[in-house]
Amino acid sequence: MPPAVDSPRVVNISDLRRLAERRLPRAVFDYIDGGADAEFTLRENCRIYDDVILRPRNAVAIPQCDLHVTVLGRRLELPFLLAPVGSSRMFYPRGEEAAARAAGAAGTAYILSTLSGCKLEDVKAASTGPVWYQLYLLGGRDVASGAIERARRAGFSALAVTIDTAVSGLRERDVRNGTKELLGPSTWARLPFLPQFLARPRWLAGFLSDGGLMSFPNVLIPGQGPMPYADVAAALEQSTVSWPDLRWIREVWQGPIVIKGVLTGDDARRAVDEGAEALVVSNHGGRQLDGVSATLRALPEVVSAANGRAEVLLDGGIRRGSDVVKALCLGARAVLCGRAYAYGLGAGGGAGVARAIQILRADLVRTLKLLGCASVGELDRSYVDAPPAWLQYK
C-alpha cells in the first residue's frame, strides 16, 4: 500500500506526485503533469533553479524565521499563493473548495480558475484567507462581466487576468490519452480509453459521487446555463484577452487587477500602463507556447521594467522552499505554486494540499536558517549568484 499523504515517508513534492500518479487515471494525472508540444518549457521551468547558487552567511543563529509578505495590501503568512488550476474537481471531489480551505488555514491566498467545477461563492466561503478570481473571457464580454460581478459581491480581493491563451497549447499527452474522445458524444470512440478509469476504482467512485463529468458553473451562457466541459478549447480560442479589454474589465471590477502571463519587459510596461497593480511572470506552466523562457529567467527583466510601479510575482517550477527563496532574491514579491499543490490534491484531497504547503513551509524555514537570514523580507540578490546575462536589466 502507498503511504498516506501525511506519512513521514512523504518528504517532498515529488513524493506527492508519485502518490497522485498512483491514484489518478492516466488522463487526469497527465492533465496535471503535462505540458505543450515537446515539454521543453515545462522541464526548463524546474531545471532553471539549478543555475542560481545560494550564498549563505554562516555562524548566524536564527531562532525563528519570519515568512510573511504583503501582497496587494494583504498580509500573507507565507510567501507563496496557490495558483489557479483548472478542473481541480476532477482531481478530488470539491477540489477547488478543498484547496481554498487549505490555503486559508495556512494563512495564504488561493486563486480560483474560471475553469472551476465549483461555484465561486462556495470556494470563497470555504477559505478563511484572501481569494482571487482568475479571469478568462469565456462566453464573451457579457458572460465574463457577470462572473466578475459575482466575484466582487462574494468578496474576492483581486482579479487575475490571464493573457497568454490566444489558443490552447497542443498538449500531446491529452491527445494520446483520448481526452477529446472521452469528452465527445460517441460512446464507441470512448471505449478504448475507458480502462484507465476502471483501473482506478477509488477515484472513480469519488468522481461519480461528486456528480461525474462537470460543467463550469462560473461561465453561465445565456439560455444554456453552465458551459459544458467539452467546449473549453473552442471557447478559449474565441475569447482572447487584448489590451483594450482591460478598460472595461477595470470598470466592472473596480478593484486590484493582476496580469498573469507576462514574460517580457514590453508586456510588463504595457500592463502597468493599463492599470495593473501586480504582474505574474508566467508561461502557463509550460502548457501554452513551448520554447519560451523559463519564468525564473524572465523574472529580472520584468522586475526591472515594472520599476516599482507594480508588484511582481512569479509562477512556474516551484517544487522546493529553496526555489521560493531564489525567486524572492531575484525580485519577486511572492510566488505562485500550481502543480506542487495539485499533486497533493490528486494524492489526497485537502489533506494532500495541506501536506504540500507544510513541505514548502518547512523547506523555507530550513533554507532561511542555513542562509543566515531571519526573514523573507531581507532576501535580495546578495544571497544568490545568478548568470550575469540574467541581471543586465538592473
Least Cα distance to 52 among 280, 284, 297, 285 occurs for 297
What pLDDT band is residue 391 in, cutting at 50, 70 and 90?
A: confident
**Domain 13-391, CATH among 3.20.20.70, 3.30.2290.10, 3.30.70.890, 3.40.50.880:** 3.20.20.70
Q: Does the predicted model carry a pTM greater than 0.75?
A: yes
**Residue found by looking up cell 524565521 in the block:** 65
What pLDDT band is residue 41 in, cutting at 50, 70 and 90?
A: very high
pLDDT at residue 231 is higher than 70: no
Least Cα distance to 345 among 160, 168, 117 occurs for 117
Helices (H) and strands (E) in the chain, counts: 17, 14
pLDDT at 106: 98
As annotated, the active-site residues are 284
Rounded Cα gap, residues 351 and 10, in angstroms: 12
- How does pLDDT run across 284-339, given as a tens digit for each residue? 999 999 999 999 999 999 999 999 999 999 999 999 999 999 999 999 999 999 99
C-alpha cell at 259: 496580469
Give strand ranges (E) for the chain: 53-54, 69-71, 74-76, 80-82, 110-112, 131-135, 158-162, 215-221, 225-228, 257-262, 278-281, 311-315, 334-337, 384-385
Determine phi and psi for 111, rounding to 5 degrees.
-115, 120
C-alpha cell at 300: 529580472
Q: Which residue has the higher pLDDT, 391 or 61?
A: 61
Q: Name the CA dihedral angle for 259, 114, 349, 287, rounded to a multiple of 10 degrees.
A: -60
- How does pLDDT run across 134-176, given as a tens digit for each residue? 999 998 999 999 999 999 999 999 999 999 998 889 999 999 9
